[in-house]
Chain A
Amino acid sequence: MLIALAGNPNTGKTTIFNALTGSHQHVGNWPGVTVEKKEGFAEYKGERIRIVDLPGTYSLTAYSLEELIARNFILEEKPDVVIDIIDSTNLERNLYLLTELMELTDKIVVALNMFDEARKKYRIDVEKMRRILGIPVVPTIAIKGQGIKELLREAVEGKFNLKKPEYPRDVEDRIKRIEEMLKDHHLENERWYAIKLLENDGDVVKKLQGIGARDVIHAAEHFRHELEDIYGDDIETLMASFRYSFSHGLFHEVAEPINVGGVTITDMIDHVVAHKIFGIPIFLVVMYLSFNFVFQVAAPFQDAIDLIFNGKDLSNGAHIAGLIDLSYSWMAGFLPDWLSSFINYGMLRGLAAVLTFTPIIMLLFIILSILEDSGYLARVAFLLDRIMRKMGLEGRGVISLMLGLGCNVPAIMSTRALRNERERKLSIALNPLIPCGARIQVFAFLTSLFFAKNQAVVLWSLLLISFAVVGILGYIYSKTIFRGEVEPFVMELPPYRLPTFKGIMIHMWEKSEGFLRKAGTIIIGAAGIIWLLAALPWGVEYGSEASYIGQIAQFLGPAGHLFGLTPEAIIALFFGFFAKEVVIDSFTVLFGSKQALLASMTQLQAYSFLLFLLFYTPCVATLATIYQETRSRKFVFFVVIEGLALAVLFSFLAYNIGLLLGVGG
C-alpha cells in the first residue's frame, strides 16, 4: 500500500511524516531535481505501508517545480490514499489545496492538524465536515503525537465516498464536453485533464499535444474564451474563485469563529521583532547571541575530540599520545610503517577533522531549526528582503550567508529553504566567500601575532572586504551568469510557535547525519590524498620541502613571490584545504616557534596571506557539501576557480599596492 502526504507548507506535515514512519525513513531527492524527497514505512496490522512526503504547496498549478512534483506523483504513482494535512488554525486557505486534490483523486483523508490551537480560534464541527466531504476527517495534534494512529487507521480502513465540488453549470457543462472528447485518448483522470485544459495549464497542454489531441486543445480554448466573456475575468482568476468559494463556504459551514478581533500573541511579538526601527538591530543581536552560544558550547567538545584523537603537546616538549598515535604504534606492529602511517596519519586524521567540526555543525543546525520552527525565519526574510534582492536573492538568503560565519557546510545545506533553483545556486556560489569560524580562528591567531597593536582593525577589514565582495559579486552574478526571472515572493508568515525539543532534534540529526555519512567519506578520502602528497616520495620527512607538497610549493615559489607568499605559507595553504584551522598547526610544525613564524613574513606579506586565506578554495568538507547539494562537478569546479581567482586578485593587489606605498614592510 502507498500513502502520499500532501499539504501546505508550515502545516506540521513533516512532524506527521516522522510520527508515522518513526526511524524507518529515507531522505533523497526527487529524480532529476534538488527538491528533497522523503520516504518511509509505517506498519498497520502487520502490513508494510510505504509513505511518501510530497513537497509542501499551496496549490497544484504548473508554475512551480514543487507543485508539478506533487501532482505528477499522484497522477503517475497513483497512491492508494492521499492524506491532506491541513493547518486547522488557517482552515479557509488550507482547504483550497483540498479542492484541487479532490479533482485528482477520490481517496483522501483529511488531517486537521494543530487542532488544539484551532479550537481557541473557532468551534470546528468535524462530523459535519466528514458528512459534507464524504471522506475521513481526523483531528490531529502532531507535536503531541495525537491522532496519528486514527489517521493511519482511516487511511487503511476508512470509507471513501467523496462528494466532488461542482463548478457553476456553464463551467461544468464545458468540462463534461471536454471530458467526452478526451475519451478517445485513453487517459485516466479525464475530468482533471479537462479542467486543466480549460484552465490552459501549460504542462497538460504540452502533454496532450504530445499525444496528438489538438482538436481537444482547440475546443478547450474556445470554451475558455466563452467563459472569460461570460464572467468578465481571466480563466485562472475564475477557476481559483470557484474553488475558493467552495473552501470559503465549507469553512463557514464547519467552523464558527470565537474571540473575533482579539490581539494575538503573534501580533504582539511581531510588533517588536518586525518593528520598523528595532527589527534589524534585534536580528543582529539574535545572530550574535546564536553564534556566541554555538562557539561557547562547541569549544569544549572540539577540544575533547582533538585531545582524544591527536593528543597534546605539552609546554615542556613532551607529547601525550592521542588515539591516532596509539593506533599507529599498534598497527605498525603488524603492518608496514608506510601503511600504518597512511591509515592513521592520513585517513584517521581526516576522520578526526570531520569529527572536530561536527559539534559546530550540529549546533548550527539546532539554531537553524529553532529559528525556522518558531517562525522567526520568515520575519527575517521580511525584514531583509529589500537588501537581499539587490544581490539577486530573496530575504531568506540572508540566513545561509549568516550561517556561513559559523561553518559553510550547514550554511550551504540551509540554502534548501530557497525555493528557486537559480537563487539557490547563486547563494551556494557566494557562501564560501564568507569566512567561516575556522578561518576567523586563523585570522585571530595570525593577527594577534603580526598586528598586535591594531588587531581589531585588521580583523574587521577582512570581514568587511568579504561582505563587500559577496554583495558586489551577488549583484554582478544576478545580472549575468545567474540571471533569471524573479520568483514571486509571496511568503506566508506563520504564527509564532514554541519549537519542540523532539522536532529540533529530528531536524538537526537528519541534516548532520547526511553530512557525516556522505561528506565524511569524501573528506576522509581527500585526507588520504593530502597525506600521500606530503609523505611521498618515500623516505622524505612528512610535509618537508622534499615531499611532493614541498616541491609544489618550491615550484610555485616564484609565482607566490608576486603575492608575497612564502613557500611555507603555500604549504600551510595546501594543508588548509583539508580544514582551514589546520593552517595554524602547519605553521607551528613548519616553524616550531611563534618567533620564527613572526620573522618569516613582513606585515604586508602576512596581510596578503590573510586575504588569500579569506577567499581561496573552500575546504574539502565545503566542496563535498556543494557537490552533495548541486550534484554537479562543474559547479564545484566553478567554486574552486572563483575562490582562487579572488584570492589571487586581492592578495596581488594588496601586496603590490602596499609595496608601492611602502607600508607594512
Chain B
Amino acid sequence: MKLSELNPGETALVIHVGGNGAVHRRLLSMGILPGTVIRSVRVSPLGDPVIYEIRGSFISLRRNEAEEVEIEKIVPLHLVPPGTVVKVVLIDGGMGFIQNLSKMGISPGKVVEVLRPCCPMLVRTPTGSFPIGKGMAYRIYVR
C-alpha cells in the first residue's frame, strides 16, 4: 500500500522509501524511514498536499511524494474495539517502557485481546490480563 492511499486519521508503518535524489533524501531527513510510524492528519481543500504526523512533527507531502512511500496499515491500541484480537507490531518508547510492557507479555509479534475499551483499557496477553493506561495505549501499535 502507498502512503498516498492512507486516509486521514489512519496510521501506518513505513516499509520502504523510494523516490530519487532530492525527494528521497528529503523524506529520509525528515525521519520517514522504514519502521517509522506515520499518521495521515489532514487533506488540503484541493485534495493535495496532505499533512502527516511523524515523530511528533507535522509535515506536508505532495501526492507524488507520498506515492514514493510504501506502507502497511497499523492501529494504535487505544482505537481497537473490545472483543478484538490483534497482533502487536511496534512499541514506541525507550528501553524502560519496552521492558515494562514485555513483562506484561506485550511485545512485537505477541497476540493480545482487548477486553475493555480505552481508557484505561483492559487487555488479555499471553501472560494474563492487565489494565493499560492512556499514556501506554497510545504508544502500542497493532495490526
Residues of A whose CB lies within 8 Å of any CB of B are 58-59, 61, 63-64, 89-93, 96, 233-234, 236-237, 240-241, 244, 248-249, 251-253, 256-261, 266, 270, 274-277, 279-280, 378, 381-387, 389, 485, 487-493
Can you report 11 residue pairs joining A to B where beta carbons are below 8 Å apart? A236-B24, A240-B33, A259-B135, A260-B138, A279-B44, A279-B45, A385-B62, A386-B44, A386-B49, A485-B22, A490-B30
A245, B29: Cα distance in complex, Å:
12
A59-B25 contact given A93-B56, A237-B17, A240-B33, CB 8 Å threshold:
yes
Q: Closest chain A residue to B59 by CB distance?
A: A492
A276-B65 contact given A93-B56, A261-B138, CB 8 Å threshold:
no
Kindly list chain A residues whose C-beta atoms are within 8 Å of the C-beta of B125: none
A489-B65 contact given A237-B33, A279-B45, CB 8 Å threshold:
yes
Kindly list chain A residues whose C-beta atoms are within 8 Å of the C-beta of B49: 382, 385-386, 489
Apart from A93-B31, A257-B135, A387-B46, list 16 A-B contacts with CB within 8 A: A63-B26, A90-B57, A93-B30, A237-B24, A253-B94, A259-B135, A261-B138, A274-B44, A279-B44, A280-B45, A385-B60, A489-B60, A491-B59, A491-B60, A492-B30, A493-B58
Q: Closest chain B residue to A386 by CB distance?
A: B46
A270-B42 contact given A58-B30, A260-B135, CB 8 Å threshold:
yes
A46, B87: Cα distance in complex, Å:
63
Kindly list chain A residues whose C-beta atoms are within 8 Å of the C-beta of B44: 274, 279, 382-383, 385-386
Q: Which 9 pairs from chain A and chain B are nearest by CB?
A: A252-B94, A59-B29, A386-B46, A240-B28, A493-B58, A261-B138, A488-B23, A488-B26, A63-B22
A244 to chain B minimum Cβ distance, whole angstroms, is: 6
Q: Closest chain A residue to B17 by CB distance?
A: A237
Chief secondary structure at chain B's binding surface: mixed
Kindly list chain B residues whose C-beta atoms are within 8 Å of the C-beta of A275: 45
A488, B59: Cα distance in complex, Å:
12
Kindly list chain B residues whose C-beta atoms are within 8 Å of the C-beta of A64: 22
Kindly list chain A residues whose C-beta atoms are within 8 Å of the C-beta of B138: 260-261
A253, B62: Cα distance in complex, Å:
34
Beta-carbon contact of A58 and B47 below 8 Å: no
A131 to chain B minimum Cβ distance, whole angstroms, is: 16
Among A89, A93, A96, the most chain B Cβ lie within 10 Å of the Cβ of A93
Q: Closest chain A residue to B32 by CB distance?
A: A490
Kindly list chain A residues whose C-beta atoms are within 8 Å of the C-beta of B143: none
A98 to chain B minimum Cβ distance, whole angstroms, is: 13
Beta-carbon contact of A382 and B60 below 8 Å: yes
A383, B139: Cα distance in complex, Å:
30
* B51-78 contacts to A (CB < 8 Å): 51, 54-62, 65, 78
A61-B56 contact given A252-B97, A383-B44, CB 8 Å threshold:
no
Cβ of B134 within 8 Å of any chain A Cβ, yes or no, is: yes
A387 to chain B minimum Cβ distance, whole angstroms, is: 7
Kindly list chain B residues whose C-beta atoms are within 8 Å of the C-beta of A493: 51, 58-60
Kindly list chain B residues whose C-beta atoms are within 8 Å of the C-beta of A490: 23, 26-27, 30, 59-61, 65
Cβ of B43 within 8 Å of any chain A Cβ, yes or no, is: yes
> How many chain B residues touch A (Cβ–Cβ < 8 Å)?
46
Kindly list chain B residues whose C-beta atoms are within 8 Å of the C-beta of A233: 16, 34
A386, B61: Cα distance in complex, Å:
11
Cβ of B21 within 8 Å of any chain A Cβ, yes or no, is: yes
* B86-137 contacts to A (CB < 8 Å): 93-95, 97, 134-135
Cβ of B35 within 8 Å of any chain A Cβ, yes or no, is: yes
A492, B34: Cα distance in complex, Å:
20
Q: Closest chain B residue to A278 by CB distance?
A: B45
Cβ of B5 within 8 Å of any chain A Cβ, yes or no, is: no
Cβ of B48 within 8 Å of any chain A Cβ, yes or no, is: yes
B45 to chain A minimum Cβ distance, whole angstroms, is: 5
Beta-carbon contact of A63 and B25 below 8 Å: yes
Kindly list chain B residues whose C-beta atoms are within 8 Å of the C-beta of A91: 56
Beta-carbon contact of B56 and A261 below 8 Å: no
B54 to chain A minimum Cβ distance, whole angstroms, is: 8
Q: Mark B1-38, 1 if CB is under 8 A from A, else 0.
A: 00000000000000011010111111111110111100
B25 to chain A minimum Cβ distance, whole angstroms, is: 5
A92, B62: Cα distance in complex, Å:
23
A252, B100: Cα distance in complex, Å:
14
Kindly list chain B residues whose C-beta atoms are within 8 Å of the C-beta of A258: 135
Kindly list chain B residues whose C-beta atoms are within 8 Å of the C-beta of A259: 135
A266, B51: Cα distance in complex, Å:
13
Q: Closest chain A residue to B78 by CB distance?
A: A261
Q: Closest chain A residue to B61 by CB distance?
A: A490
A278, B121: Cα distance in complex, Å:
37
A206 to chain B minimum Cβ distance, whole angstroms, is: 15
Report which of B21, B33, B59, B60 forms a contact with A241, defined as CB distance below 8 A.
B33
A158, B10: Cα distance in complex, Å:
46
Kindly list chain A residues whose C-beta atoms are within 8 Å of the C-beta of B47: 386
Q: Closest chain B residue to A387 by CB distance?
A: B46
A97 to chain B minimum Cβ distance, whole angstroms, is: 8
Kindly list chain B residues whose C-beta atoms are within 8 Å of the C-beta of A90: 55-57
Q: Closest chain A residue to B16 by CB distance?
A: A233
B17 to chain A minimum Cβ distance, whole angstroms, is: 6
Beta-carbon contact of B21 and A63 below 8 Å: yes
A503 to chain B minimum Cβ distance, whole angstroms, is: 21
Kindly list chain B residues whose C-beta atoms are within 8 Å of the C-beta of A385: 44, 46, 48-49, 60, 62
A274, B49: Cα distance in complex, Å:
12
Among A92, A234, A488, the most chain B Cβ lie within 10 Å of the Cβ of A488
A605, B91: Cα distance in complex, Å:
74
A491, B59: Cα distance in complex, Å:
5
Kindly list chain B residues whose C-beta atoms are within 8 Å of the C-beta of A257: 135, 139
Beta-carbon contact of A252 and B93 below 8 Å: yes
Beta-carbon contact of B29 and A61 below 8 Å: yes
A209 to chain B minimum Cβ distance, whole angstroms, is: 19
Kindly list chain B residues whose C-beta atoms are within 8 Å of the C-beta of A487: 22
Kindly list chain B residues whose C-beta atoms are within 8 Å of the C-beta of A260: 134-135, 138-139
A218 to chain B minimum Cβ distance, whole angstroms, is: 22
Q: Closest chain A residue to B54 by CB distance?
A: A93
A492-B57 contact given A61-B29, A252-B97, CB 8 Å threshold:
yes
Kindly list chain B residues whose C-beta atoms are within 8 Å of the C-beta of A256: 94
Kindly list chain B residues whose C-beta atoms are within 8 Å of the C-beta of A276: 43, 45
B70 to chain A minimum Cβ distance, whole angstroms, is: 11
A406 to chain B minimum Cβ distance, whole angstroms, is: 25
Q: Closest chain B residue to A267 by CB distance?
A: B41
Kindly list chain B residues whose C-beta atoms are within 8 Å of the C-beta of A89: 56
B9 to chain A minimum Cβ distance, whole angstroms, is: 12
A251, B134: Cα distance in complex, Å:
21
A485, B49: Cα distance in complex, Å:
18
Kindly list chain B residues whose C-beta atoms are within 8 Å of the C-beta of A485: 22
A259, B21: Cα distance in complex, Å:
38
Kindly list chain A residues whose C-beta atoms are within 8 Å of the C-beta of B21: 63
Kindly list chain A residues whose C-beta atoms are within 8 Å of the C-beta of B57: 90, 93, 492
A22, B61: Cα distance in complex, Å:
37
B79 to chain A minimum Cβ distance, whole angstroms, is: 11
Q: Closest chain B residue to A279 by CB distance?
A: B45
Kindly list chain B residues whose C-beta atoms are within 8 Å of the C-beta of A381: 60
A130, B22: Cα distance in complex, Å:
33
A487, B61: Cα distance in complex, Å:
12
Kindly list chain B residues whose C-beta atoms are within 8 Å of the C-beta of A488: 19, 22-23, 26-27, 65
